[in-house]
């Protein structure tokens, strides 16, 4: 049985920026898009203590709801519901001035995008 050949994917780290004027951030998730696998997903983890260390007044529940909206968008819901996967990925990584933003887009190769997303979450967020 032949091994599955790795194919390109794009990913960005999802960052929480509780006080935009200070420029401090924490990594709270990873967004991964693979056109060849027709795959778009986000994996998130909010370290509440780290968030509150940056901003003791941060609305943790609002940040969690915002993170949930990234997953909703990946699954086809929310404002960009009529967009294709690649369009939704570009919409999510577009620059914004909100409490959540995507970092720069990077490229990689993987045969299993879901497993790669889990690996990246462990490496870059947890």
Determine the pLDDT at residue 2: 63
The pLDDT value recorded for residue 20 is 82
Q: What is the pLDDT of residue 80?
A: 83
The predicted structure's pLDDT at residue 1? 60
- Please tell me the predicted confidence (pLDDT) of residue 3: 72
**Model pTM score:** 0.92
Strand bridging mode 106-110 / 7-16 = antiparallel
Those residues of the chain that have pLDDT short of 50 are none
Burial of 7: CB neighbours in 10 Å, binned 0-12, 13-18, 19+: middle
Q: Is residue 109 within 8 Å of 8, Cβ to Cβ?
A: yes
Cα(116)–Cα(52) distance, integer angstroms: 29
The DSSP call for residue 44 is E
List Cβ neighbours of 53 (8 Å cut-off, separation of 6 or more): none
């Amino acid at each position: 049985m032949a091994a599955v050949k790795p194919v390109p994917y794009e990913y960005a780290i999802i960052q929480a920026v509780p006080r935009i004027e200070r420029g401090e951030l924490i990594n709270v998730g990873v967004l991964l898009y693979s056109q060849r696998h027709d795959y778009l997903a986000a994996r998130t983890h909010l370290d509440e203590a780290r968030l509150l260390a940056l901003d003791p007044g941060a609305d943790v529940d609002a940040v969690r709801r915002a993170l949930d909206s990234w997953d909703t968008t990946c699954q086809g819901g929310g404002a960009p519901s009529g967009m294709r996967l690649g369009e939704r990925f570009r919409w999510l990584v577009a620059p914004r001035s909100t409490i959540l933003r995507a970092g720069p887009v990077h490229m990689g190769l993987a045969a299993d995008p879901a497993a790669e997303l889990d690996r990246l979450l462990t490496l870059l967020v947890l």
